[in-house]
Chains A and B, each alone.
Chain A
Amino acid sequence: MLSSTAKNLYWMGRYLQRAKSTARLIEATQRMALQSRGEEAAGIAAIFGMEDEFRQVQQQGHRLASLIDFLVLDENNPSSIVSSVGAARSNAREERNNLTIDVWESLNGLWLELGARLRGDRAVLDRGALIELVMKQSVMIFGAAQVTLLRDEAYNFLQLGAFLERGDNTARILDVKFQLLCPGGDPNTSGLDYFAWAEMLACIGAVRTYRRIYRSALDPVKVAELMMLRRDVPRSVHHCLWMVDLNMRELAETYGARGEADRLAGELHARLRYARVEQIFQIGLHKFLGGVREDIATLSDEIGRQFLLD
């Protein structure tokens, strides 16, 4: 397999996961915006690290709606859903021969459908339906990958991209929202706003999961624990980094070699695996998550170096 193939699959995984996470985040936020204070727009902008861009968009009209268009439809925003799907699709197109027809057809189908809707009249474009389409179809694509792709090195790179992106997304959502809800990072300062905590869980699709695990009222510390440390929650930071480590080990076995990326993946995984939520709050949640996110970024660079992806 070529390094460029590994690179395309890695980025296809990242972009697709990015589109999926963004869609879920927006869907959750929109629903919550209907029943609470209306600070959601600024919150999302912060999650995407786009406070400045948002201020510019904001001057042009309604706050949440314009932000959503920016995050969903704007082709000039490289992280918008439309741009991410386009990027994933062009990575996939270059690797058509390393993907199955099922994966390609489901991704190409999403891209064609998005294109068709975007070419239509924007005034009557149903944003909600479009976001739902992206969520549903990206599940289909990942599902197709899981049930049809050969379990070889190519698959490992696709998984690496998807899980690194997903882990980073969850860490970012938790980090930003926690700071908004609990200024200073102390979970006891939160005015137990049910809707706000439920929204945070909804961003990773885990409201019901929370109920099943804790069988209790929404509690900031437990929410943080679920999103960071629960290995059995597929969008938790721990689960994602576990999967990253697993795929790195499989690659090391295939290639018979290990490097800095392997060390870092193992270390990150261990950090999440053996952490206790109380300790994290002693260190400071923001500090802990900041460290994790920084190391995820470093790991991504190291993967590029180690496998000649750059």
Chain B
Amino acid sequence: MAVKAFDEMNSGTGGLVRAPYRGVADWLARTSPERVAATRHEVDLFYRRNGITFGAYGAVDGHETTIPFDIIPRVIAWDEWDFLHKGLVQRVKALNAFLADTYSTREICRAGVIPENQILMNAEFVAMAQGLALPGGIHAHIAGIDLVRVGEKDFYVLEDNVRTPSGVSYVLENREVMMRLAPELFSAMRVLPVANYSEELLATLRSVSFSDEAAPNVVLLTPGHFNSAYFEHAYLADEMGIELVEGSDLFVDEGRVYMRTPRGPQRVDVIYRRVDDAFLDPLEMRPDSFLGVAGLLGALRAGRVNIVNALGNGVADDKSTYTYVPEMIRFYLGEEPILSNVPTWRCDRPDDFKYVLEHLSELVVKEVHGSGGKGMLVGPTSSKAEIEAFAGFVRARPDNYIAQPTLALSTCPTFVAQGIAPRHVDLRPYVLSGRKTTIIPGGLTRVALKEGSLVVNSSQGGGTKDTWVLAPEAGAGG
């Protein structure tokens, strides 16, 4: 690539190692290649035996593959994290306000900030969620905000995920593995812990129950073990000590939700669902769904059960609504956005459309509702033929695409076949919103293992790293 990317370890002033990475650089220098190879082998065994699978759809050898883990941690200084933390809290607050507004009076449309069609014509808008008064007014209880870095001080929000963001189990497992493999590194650096995530998640889920019972019954609803993120569902349920249920474990009677147990039906108050909106209730959504529970939405409307995340959140996180988030922050909070959006062209605007088609070879073009790194074009790394083909898609449905400049995502040193080399990374922190807002330090660092690749999605061959936020003293002067 033409632009030299910012390397989080080696782009210090004068080409020196940046302060937060000194411990890691020392460790790499001290540790023999044999020891490193042995360590990497150990990691692989650990992950295989524990059955950690992501199983990107379309994997050739069945649905069980493991996601590569890179043993060099990604380090974030305290002051960097402090800045991101404030920005994330602000952004998710605004997204929640927007969702509550979307499904009530839509003040933001009345004020002329967002056209009403942006909401009502959105394929993810769920009409039957209109008028629901949810506990605490919270819709996006668990949000995964994808961030990228391009320079010492420059972070951007790449996209918001407020439907059913996944990946947090890797944050927790990666840390476990890392502590086992390099305890000496932890004693040298003060790394903020992440293991309290499940406890915070459970507290968040309990805090949004309609019932005022002291210990509401919370369950995690999974589509089942053929789902690519099944491991994560089981893992989180286990960590929280709650039941992992499938649709067939639940039923609705007299407007209440119950789970089937050997001792008889037991009431359910909050459902942390990892099933998409369309499959939740065959009576009201897709009638062919076997993943949901008949009558569930009726129980939700009656205020007998809360569903987390709320229905219809897709309105807030598609890539065309994304362009309005800075305006949402100003409108609902009266504040200036702390975190910046990536400049975005919307192909449904004539000027933008023209610009995008003329500059395809420089831009990243994405489907408005796309996810998982599919249905996108990375101009600079695509062939002429690929660009031509993609131009055809954009012309056919301009409203389905947005475009952004190709960012030189920051890189981190990563183990690859040839040794240690810089690879592009992003960061997904997980923001929990209930009666209070909680973010565990760091989040999921995804790394594009292919040289030069900017696509970090695990379904496209990306890997992960442990993400270290350093405690205030240790990170000072970074």
A residues apposed to B, CB below 8 Å: 1-6, 90, 93-94, 96-97, 101, 104-105, 108-109, 112, 153, 157, 251, 254-255, 257, 307-309
Contact = CB atoms under 8 A, between A and B. Distances in A.
27 contacts: A1-B261, A2-B243, A3-B249, A3-B260, A3-B261, A3-B262, A4-B246, A90-B225, A93-B51, A94-B224, A96-B231, A96-B234, A96-B235, A97-B244, A101-B50, A108-B49, A108-B51, A109-B49, A112-B48, A153-B262, A157-B262, A251-B262, A254-B263, A257-B263, A307-B262, A308-B261, A308-B264
Report, nearest first, the 9 A-B pairs whose CB atoms are least far apart: A97-B238, A307-B262, A3-B260, A255-B263, A96-B234, A97-B234, A6-B262, A2-B249, A97-B237
Q: Which of A94, A101, A105 is the most central at the interface, judged by chain B CB atoms within 10 Å of its CB?
A: A94
A251 to B, nearest CB: 7
Contacts of B49: 105, 108-109
A105 B47 CA distance: 11
A19 to B, nearest CB: 19
Interface in B239-288: 243-246, 248-249, 259-264
B448 to A, nearest CB: 28
A294 B244 CA distance: 35
B126 to A, nearest CB: 28
Contacts of B235: 96-97
B48 A4 contact: no
B172 to A, nearest CB: 14
Contact of B51 (A96, A251, A308): A96
Q: Which of B234, B235, B238, B262 is the most central at the interface, judged by chain A CB atoms within 10 Å of its CB?
A: B262
Interface residues of B, number: 23
A108 B49 CA distance: 7
A255 B262 contact: yes
Interface of B: 48-51, 224-225, 231, 234-235, 237-238, 243-246, 248-249, 259-264
A39 B49 CA distance: 42
A112 B61 CA distance: 13
B291 to A, nearest CB: 14
Contacts of A90: 225
Contact of A2 (B48, B50, B238, B259): B259
A4 B260 contact: yes
Contacts of A5: 243
A308 B48 contact: no
Q: Which of B51, B245, B246 is the most central at the interface, judged by chain A CB atoms within 10 Å of its CB?
A: B51
Contacts of A251: 262
A6 B245 CA distance: 12
Contacts of A308: 260-262, 264
Contacts of B243: 1-2, 5
A97 B231 CA distance: 10
B249 A93 contact: no
B225 A94 contact: yes
Given A3-B249, A105-B49, A105-B50, A96 B262 contact: no
Contacts of B234: 94, 96-97
A4 B249 CA distance: 7
A9 to B, nearest CB: 11
B247 to A, nearest CB: 11
B248 A4 contact: yes
B237 to A, nearest CB: 5
Contacts of A97: 234-235, 237-238, 244
A6 B261 CA distance: 8
Nearest to A89: B51
Given A90-B225, A96-B231, A157-B262, 9 more contacts: A1-B261, A2-B249, A93-B51, A94-B225, A96-B238, A97-B244, A104-B50, A104-B51, A308-B260
A153 B245 CA distance: 17
Contacts of B249: 2-4
